[in-house]
Structure 1
Amino acid sequence: MSERLPPFPPGALTGAQRELYDAITGGPRAQGPQHFALTRADGSLRGPFNAFLLAPELGGALQDVGAAIRYRSALGSRAREIAILLVAARWDSDFEREAHEAVGAAAGLTPSELAALRAGDTTPFAGDEAVVAAVTQQLLDGDLHDDAWHAASVALGPKVVFELTVLVGYYATLALQLRVFRVRP
């Protein structure tokens, strides 16, 4: 299946689209090591970011949420990538899997841990990472049961549980958009 949206090259963007484009390409995602390309050879955005340009007001809000999750969260890098990759596995999101396996490897996830996450298997993880994985899986099923809430709020704190709910919702939204617009890695 081909992508349903054409790429939006930088020279063809409206003012609001260009502001969002600049926020994405000049923001924290573009700083430091690049584990996956944000843009195509023509400068257009890859992945979910191209679709963000359809509605810059909403796309900008999503971009802000994503940047907060990735760069201003209390979750550690490994724990964050475990959660993101579990969402990608549940929603069979090829782009998110490709992008975040690279980020996860840079955060220290081993090839065997990445393979386990691809299969939705959380048995390789212990401690807080196991709690993050369990919470993520329950959230993907629609709720966090009382026993899991208690364990997570004690181990991680309510703030991190809140951040996990935002992360799961955000990456599930991206997975839906990537499916609808037929975005491939």
Structure 2
Amino acid sequence: MTTSARITKLTPDSLDDDQRAVYDAVAGGRRAQGPQLFRLVDDEGGLEGPFNAFLLQPRLGLALQAVGSAVRYETSLSDRAREIAILVVSVHRDCAFEWYAHEAVGRHVGLTDGDLEALREHRYDAFGAVQETVVARSTHLLLEAGDLDDEAYGEAVEVLGVQQVFELLTLVGYYDTLALQLRVFRVPPPSV
């Protein structure tokens, strides 16, 4: 077994049946389909990033895994808008693992070096698409204030619609939760 700074990284041969169900959902689920833009497992087969912690309480971990999969693959936000929101969370929470993983995904969906730099510098008006600017600004406000005031909410509903506002709120909450777990457990990005 290898360890991160605060929790033991579990290897596949050490898992009980409930933990194995979580492991299989992450390592063999939608995240594992298509191009591998970031590592899901290390060289010994242990789950990378937030996913190892999901094994600590498998029922909760399985539910978190399902929410994360739904946020990434079952929403109507564009791929770029989704990755912009995730990267805003990673910058705001100074979460190196989220940046590592979603910079790669962001590049895959068309974010440029300039886009990534704009996110690091909170220059959300740098995005040409109004939807992307509103997603970035709304995400930033949610993290700063924990709310959208009437003006920001009105703009978000006008540009995104109520359904996508709900999707964005859920996405921000999920990735903020992961950032908290990654920070407290001191989980670094893998050395690739």
Tell me the amino acid that sits aligned with residue 154 of structure 1.
Answer: E
1:101 aligns with 2:130: no
Aligned twin of 2:181: 177
- Secondary structure of the residue that 1:80 maps to in structure 2? helix
C-alpha distance after superposition, 1:105-126 (max 9, x if no partner): 0010001111221233313113
Q: Distance in 1 between matches of 2:44 and 2:114?
A: 35
Aligned twin of 1:154: 158
Q: Distance in 2 between matches of 1:40 and 1:132?
A: 33
Tell me the amino acid that sits aligned with residue 150 of structure 1.
Answer: G
Structure 1 unaligned spans of 5+: none
Q: Distance in 1 between matches of 2:151 and 2:107?
A: 31
TM-score (norm: length of structure 2): 0.93
Tell me the amino acid that sits aligned with residue 78 of structure 1.
Answer: R
Aligned twin of 1:131: 134
- 4+ runs deviating over 2 angstroms: 118-121
C-alpha distance after superposition, 1:11-53 (max 9, x if no partner): 1001100011001111100000011010000001000000000
RMSD: 0.9
- Name which of structure 1's ranges 24-33 and 133-142 shifts more when overlaid on structure 2: 133-142
1:44 aligns with 2:43: no
Residue identity over aligned pairs, in percent, reads 56
Structure 2 unaligned spans of 5+: none
TM-score (norm: length of structure 1): 0.97
Q: Distance in 2 between matches of 1:120 and 1:63?
A: 29
- Name which of structure 1's ranges 132-141 and 8-17 shifts more when overlaid on structure 2: 132-141
Q: Distance in 2 between matches of 1:78 and 1:56?
A: 31
- Secondary structure of the residue that 1:58 maps to in structure 2? helix
